[in-house]
């Protein structure tokens, strides 16, 4: 099996001051020995926060926006690896600001591909979302186009250019703007609003997301999309785990919101394999012959998915119980979750 060593490499993270960017930074500096790590973002305050104190001398900061192709080209000089995590992510914000979402999530991703090709980096991995599958909102639609643009970037690389792949996963538990911190703050009111009692979502922690991205980055050969096989949960079970005595009030689905999410569609399952602990979606239409041979060699132990397979958040065979959710919430590195966990189990009865 082919494995790429990140040690000694110069790595750039777009959206490097976001939740995932910070966690990747922590893990890369602690465990992977990069030569240089560049955090590319437009948030100078967050960059100054990270830089304050005694920052790692390998760490660099680059103010810029992925919408600015020239700035990206400047930032990628001498870079070996790019992790593309910059995006507009909030569904309502994308719905009400569609042109801005398109400029950032689609135009910015095309700029990342172009800059990587021009700078001669070695590999690019882009972060996607379950909302890109059968999208019903603008955010999902922009990430679907992002995936296509990044994967097809391989067609422009030639024999010695960069390789491009994607990682697709669901909402990160406890991340900024997610439902868990909201429920934790609301539990004292005695009422937890949910948009739909049937709603289900996938479970993934920030630690697990970062580990997944870095592992896929070391194993990718280009053209593939990696998808973890995640457990799922019901939103009402999450509410019961956090505040069992609270009233659950149904308030209706918001614009662009799904009742259930999908990580792998039936159509994608036809050209995907189960490999190690994840699903690898292979390109369709197929990659050029030489690339197809590399993919076949890397994933030769992969098992084709059964006909009609789809990875859905309403699959009862991968459902988390209320007890499992309570235990996992207590492990989150989140101020609200840690305060909740310190109250003790008896406080949630």
Pairing type for strands 278-281 and 262-264 reads: unpaired
SS3 state of residue 166: strand
The angle, 0 to 180 degrees and rounded to 10, between the axes of the packed helices 335-342 and 322-329 is 110
| DSSP string covering 65-130 | -TT-HHHHHHHTTT--EEEE------HHHHHH-HHHHIIIIIIHHHHHHHHHHHHT-SEEEEEEEG
Structure tokens at 239: 């509410």
Structure tokens at 166: 């994607």
SS3 state of residue 307: coil
Rounded distance, CA 95 to CA 135, Å?
13
CB contact set of 247 (below 8 Å; sequence gap of 6+): 190, 191, 192
Buried b (16+ CB within 10 A) or exposed e, 294-320: bbeebbeebeebeeebbbbbbeeebbb
SS3 state of residue 151: helix
Rounded distance, CA 79 to CA 289, Å?
28
Task: Please identify which of the residues 9, 23, 131, 234 carries the catalytic annotation.
Answer: 131
146: nearest Cα among 161, 167, 160, 162: 167
Pairing type for strands 225-228 and 123-129 reads: unpaired
213: nearest Cα among 167, 172, 173: 167
Rounded distance, CA 310 to CA 318, Å?
13
Per-residue H/E/C for 226-280: EEECCCEEEHHHHHHHHCCCCEEEECCCCCCCCCCCEEECHHHHCCEEEECCEEE
23 in active site: no
The catalytic residue positions are 131
């Amino acid at each position: 099996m082919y494995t790429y060593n990140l040690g000694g490499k110069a790595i750039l993270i777009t959206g490097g001051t976001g939740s995932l960017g910070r966690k990747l930074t922590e893990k890369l500096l602690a465990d992977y020995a990069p030569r240089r790590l560049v955090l590319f973002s437009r948030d100078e305050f967050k960059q100054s926060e990270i830089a304050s104190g005694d920052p790692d001398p390998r760490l660099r900061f680059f103010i810029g926006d992925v919408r600015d192709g020239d700035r990206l080209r400047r930032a990628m000089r001498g870079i070996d690896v790019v992790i593309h995590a910059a995006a507009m992510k909030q569904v309502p914000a994308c719905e009400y600001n569609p042109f801005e979402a398109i400029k950032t999530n689609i135009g910015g991703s095309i700029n990342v591909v172009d800059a990587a090709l021009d700078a001669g980096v070695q590999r690019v991995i882009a972060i996607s979302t379950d909302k890109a599958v059968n999208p019903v909102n603008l955010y999902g639609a922009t990430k679907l186009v992002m995936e296509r643009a990044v994967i097809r970037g391989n067609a422009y690389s030639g024999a010695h250019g960069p390789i491009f792949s994607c990682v697709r996963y669901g909402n990160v538990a406890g991340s900024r703007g997610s439902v868990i911190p909201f429920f934790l703050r609301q539990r004292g009111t005695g009422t937890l609003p949910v948009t739909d009692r049937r709603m289900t979502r996938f479970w993934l922690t920030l630690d697990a997301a970062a580990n997944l991205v870095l592992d896929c980055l070391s194993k990718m050969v280009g053209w593939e999309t990696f998808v973890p096989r995640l457990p799922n949960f019901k939103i009402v079970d999450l509410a019961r785990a956090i505040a069992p005595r609270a009233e659950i009030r149904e308030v209706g689905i918001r614009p662009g919101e799904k009742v259930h999410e999908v990580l792998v569609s039936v159509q994608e399952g036809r050209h995907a394999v189960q490999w190690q602990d994840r699903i690898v979606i292979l390109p369709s239409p197929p990659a050029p012959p030489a690339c197809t041979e590399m993919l076949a060699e890397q994933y030769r132990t992969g098992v084709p998915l059964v006909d009609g397979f789809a990875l859905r958040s309403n699959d009862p065979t991968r459902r988390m119980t209320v007890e499992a959710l309570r235990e996992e919430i207590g492990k989150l590195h989140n101020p609200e979750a840690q305060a909740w966990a310190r109250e003790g189990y008896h406080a949630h009865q």
